[in-house]
Structure 1
C-alpha cells in the first residue's frame, strides 16, 4: 500500500493536494463544504418541501448541493467517477453530523436504480452509502423493497401524463406494515422521485416515512 501511495498518491478533489488514502478532500477544502446542520433545527427546508408532496415524519440532508461546490464534486465522483469509497466517507459524516436517535427508524430503504442503469454504472452508489450507514446506526437496510419499473425518465409534456408516469414509476415488492422507513437518496431536487417511492410505502399498512439525502439542491 505504501508503494502504491508513492506512485499514485490520493489527491484532494477540490485543490489537488496530496491527502491520506482514506480521505476525499483536504482539511481546508472540507471546511468549505456547506453542511446543513439539520439536527439543530426543529424544521428545515427539505422537510417543508417534502410535506408539500407526501406526509412524513422528518427529513434530513447532509449537505447543500450547489453548482461547482465541493459537495457537488464529491457526489459526482461517487456517482460517475467510480470512487466507491466516498459512499462510506459520506456515511461516516452523516452519522457524525446528523442525529438519528430521536427518529425511531425501523428500516433504511434506498431509492432504486433500474437494473440496466446499475449494470452500466457497475454499482449502486446508494448501496455503498446506506449499507455503511446501516452498520453505523444498527438499523437494517433493504435494497429490494422498492422496484423501479422504467429505465428512462418520462418525456411527457402534459401534467396529467407526467403524474400517471410518476405513479407507476416504482412498485413495492413485498408486504410491509407498521414500519417507520427512512428513505435514502443522493440528491433532492424536485422531490418527484422521492414522492413516488414514499407513496408506495405509505399506501401499505400503517407505515411512516422519513427522508435522508446526501444533499439537497
Structure 2
C-alpha cells in the first residue's frame, strides 16, 4: 500500500518501523509497565476503589506513568484517533485475565455528546467490544449518559483533578446484575465512583472495575 510506504507505522517509543498492527517494537515492549494485578484478589486499584464505593473485583492492565509508554499509548487512543489501540489493549487484557466468574454485562464510561461529536468516537468501545466478543458478555454501550461536559482529566494538572464533579444517569434499568465498569485511566476515581453509585442505587447490583491504566 502506498500510504504504508509513505507513512509507515512506527514504534511509539523509539520510532522504529513496525507492523501496522503493533504499537511498540519488541525491544521497547518490555518497557510497558504492566500491573500484574490479580482480578479476584486484593490489589492497589481495588484498595483505592474500596475507599470510594463497594467493589467486587478490580483490574488495571498498566500502571500509568507520565512521559512513559503507558501515557503515550493512552494518548494515541484518546487524542490521535487510533482506535486500533483499543483492540490491542483488549488483546493484552485477554492474555492477562481469565474469568472464572463472568460479570453479566460490560458498561463503558460515556462521553458527553458534545465531546463525542468533537472526537468522533468513544475510545472505549473498540476495547470493550473486543472483550465482549471473546468473553461472550454483552456490552451495553448506551446504558449510561453523561449529563455534564467536563474538561478531560488528562488535560488538568493533578492539583485540580479532584475538584471535578460528575453527573451520570442510567438510560436502562439494571437490576440483579454484576456490572464490569470499564474506563481508560483511573486517576482520582471520581468518574468511576459516580457511575458505580448510580448502578448501586439498586442494592441487587454489584460493580467490578476494569481500566487500561492506573495512576497510582
Identify whether the pair has TM-score above 0.5, normalized to the shorter chain: yes
Match status 1:36 vs 2:38: no
Say whether the 8 Å CA contact 2:183–2:210 is kept in structure 1: yes
User: What pairs with 1:87-98 in structure 2 (closer than 5 Å)?
Assistant: 87-98=86-97
Match status 1:26 vs 2:18: no
Question: Structure 1-normalised TM-score?
Answer: 0.89
How far is 1:205 from its partner? 5.1
Say whether the 8 Å CA contact 2:40–2:57 is kept in structure 1: no
The Cα offsets for residues 78-114 of structure 1, whole Å up to 9 and x where unpaired, read as 1001111111000110111122x12421100001110
Unaligned 5+ residue runs, structure 1? 154-161
Say whether the 8 Å CA contact 1:53–1:195 is kept in structure 2: yes
Question: Structure 2-normalised TM-score?
Answer: 0.90
Aligned to 1:210: 208
Match status 1:115 vs 2:113: yes
Unaligned 5+ residue runs, structure 2? 152-162
User: What pairs with 1:137-152 in structure 2 (closer than 5 Å)?
Assistant: 137-152=135-150
Question: What root-mean-square deviation, in Å, do the aligned CA atoms of Structure 1 and Structure 2 show?
Answer: 1.6
Aligned to 1:124: 122
Poorly superposed stretches of 4+, deviation over 4 Å: none
Which has the larger share of helix?
1
How far is 1:132 from its partner? 1.3
The Cα offsets for residues 160-192 of structure 1, whole Å up to 9 and x where unpaired, read as xx79x54xx001111111110000000001101
Cα 1:46/1:28, change in 2 over 3 Å: same
Aligned to 2:61: 62
Whole-angstrom CA distance in 1 between matches of 2:100 and 2:53: 21
